[in-house]
Structure 1
């Protein structure tokens, strides 16, 4: 019997490329409230870096978020971040939870599962224009680190970026 509220984070493979591509369309549509994104001629936003998650597996990590066995979102993480010079820092490149699962703990659990599965130095970048995401990441990261994360701001367009930096240790993230 499957727990209908159990959250899992599954490593995606190239067989999941179409699923991730479809979810990225929903994600980018949501972000169009914050960023100036345009549809392509084919009516899709597109995500040109997605194929790199299959060809650069040592630096790019794709995950499917599931809740009760159903697709609930995705996470794309990279080794290296545009926010810091360290090429080995881990970065939450993209993080998406379907609206149906938001404010239910699914995103929190997915983030904790991510940091548990990839321990190390992390950055999380959030546009100040995405108020819901700023509140989410501030809370989850404060909980994870007991307030020990550093927080900075970087200029950006159309809004500044909030950058959180912290480290996770193998076996120390409680999920």
Structure 2
């Protein structure tokens, strides 16, 4: 599994904007099975919030996932979540692993790296219309927290949302 791979989570910089934009196209294409998203006249889905990840530091956190040094996906996190009124909770806004790396442990390791990088309260939202996401997040969060997460269902359009909430403790250095 992921133990065979070197998985890293690298902060994405403005120089990575084109790369992230391209990866977001693949991600949104995958999600178009569950959500009614329309392609633009230019043949792209687009992601209007991407520039905010560099103009709102402290609120938005863009990361690239690498496997053995090569691009394997991305994670976009925010401070504040549509699933809660708490402005300080972290939220997995978008998370994508290239199909080649799915079911290999890369996503599991990248999620744990994300939560360890930003300790605090977290929410993860998964659409009921994206059936592969529910077992993935339930398993990853259960393993990361030792089962100390809450899970609830919230209404959504066009599908309900499964919302996981948990705490990521600060990492202690042994130096």
Scaled to the shorter chain, the TM-score interval is over 0.9
Cα contact 1:4–1:67 (8 A) shared by 2: no
Figure out how many residues of one structure are paired with residues of the other and give that number.
Answer: 170
- 1:66 match: 66
Q: Which residue in 2 is equivalent to 1:106?
A: 106
| 3-state SS of 1:40 partner | coil
Per-residue CA distance 1:134-167 (angstroms, 9 max, x = gap): 1100000011111110111110111100000000
1:164 aligns with 2:164: yes
Q: How does 1:58-97 map to 2 (within 5 A)?
A: 58-97=58-97
Aligned to 2:118: 118
Q: Residue 143 of structure 1 aligns to a residue in which SS?
A: helix
C-alpha separation in 2, matches of 1:168 and 1:6: 22
Give the alignment's TM-score, normalised by structure 1.
Answer: 0.95
What SS does the aligned partner of 1:19 have?
Answer: helix
Structure 2 residue runs of 5 or longer lacking an equivalent are none
What secondary structure, in the 3-state scheme, does the structure 1 residue paired with 2:5 have? coil
Q: Does 1:51 align with 2:72?
A: no
TM-score norm. by structure 2 comes to 0.95
Deviation at 1:4, TM superposition (A): 7.4
Whole-Å Cα distance in 2 between the matches of residues 58 and 115 of structure 1?
Answer: 15
- Residue 142 of structure 2 corresponds to 142
Partner of 1:14: 14
Map Cα deviations across residues 78-103 of structure 1 (whole Å, 9 max, x no partner). 00000000001000000000000000
CA RMSD of the aligned region, Å? 1.2
Give deviations 1:65-88, integer Å, cap 9, x for gaps.
000000000000000000000001
Counterparts of 2:170 and 2:126 in 1: how far apart (Å)? Answer: 25
